[in-house]
Structure 1
Amino acid sequence: MSDIHIDRKVLSDLQEVMEGGYLNLLETFLADSEERLRQLYKARNAEQLGQAAHSLKGSSSNMGAVELAELCRQLEERVRKQSLFGIEDLINRIDREFTAVRQLYRAERERVLVG
């Protein structure tokens, strides 16, 4: 099952593969993503912005956060094309999407803990 924010099949597959390490994987993803988001806001140049977007895109994709990965791909593409006008709006969209993803992953963590 998939929804707009998360590909639940990816999470299911990760849980199966990671077994006891699944909860740690969720926590690591959330902590790392929060740091990458801070880096997006603190980037002093296009290179730093592109690196943070690339890193967040990859981890989001690996964790099934499909919309977050897509927004990061768009940001990475805009940086690559040096089309930075209005980039703040895209970063804010990434921030809002991460807020939704974080809530869903926390709910996933609770589901696993209870189950």
Structure 2
Amino acid sequence: MIDVHMDPQVLAGLQEVMEGEYPRLLDTFLHDSEERVKALRTARGDTQALRQIAHSFKGSSGNLGAVRLALLCQRLEMASAGDIGGLVDQIDREFAVVRAMYEGELRRVFVG
């Protein structure tokens, strides 16, 4: 499993393109991701719903440079029923790591 939680080059590119809207992009990602993690926990018994949530979460995570989170979502999207619970737990833990990193990025942008 890849150990890269956040790709700083992706974030640098987004900051360059988004300029003043970059903090809002990060904030939106964090808020939406929290909702997706909650939805994953709620949908544990519904494989189809889990796959749909994982697909959407994979895209947003990849677009924002959350490399490991995107990979875990991809694995959940393609997982068999027996693997789902453990992957949801891994996604939950990885999002906690990512959230802290992106909150740090928000602080950096506001201070810098």
TM-score by length of 2: 0.94
Q: Residue 10 of structure 1 aligns with which residue? A: 10
- Rounded Cα–Cα distance in structure 2 between residues aligned with 1:63 and 1:18: 12
Q: Which has the higher contact order (CA 8 A, sep 6+)?
A: 2
Instruction: List runs of 5+ in structure 1 lacking aligned partners.
Output: none
Query: Aligned to 2:102, which of 89, 92, 105?
Result: 105
Give the equivalent residue in structure 2 for 1:25: 25
- CA–CA separation in structure 2 for the residues paired with 1:30 and 1:21: 14
Partner of 1:67: 68
Report the alpha carbon displacement of residue 14 of structure 1 after superposing the two structures with TM.
0.2
Distance 1:87 1:47 in 2: 11
Q: Which runs of 4+ in 1 moved over 2 A?
A: none
**1:31, 1:104 → 2: CA distance?**
14
What displacement does 1:86 show? 3.7
Unpaired runs of at least 5, structure 2 = none
Structure 1 residue 60: Cα displacement: 0.1
| Percent identity (aligned) | 55
Aligned-residue offset at 1:89: 1.1
In angstroms, what is the RMSD of aligned CA positions? 1.0
Give distance in 2, aligned partners of 1:110 and 1:9. Answer: 18
SS in 2 for 1:70: helix
Q: Distance in 1 between matches of 2:33 and 2:98?
A: 10
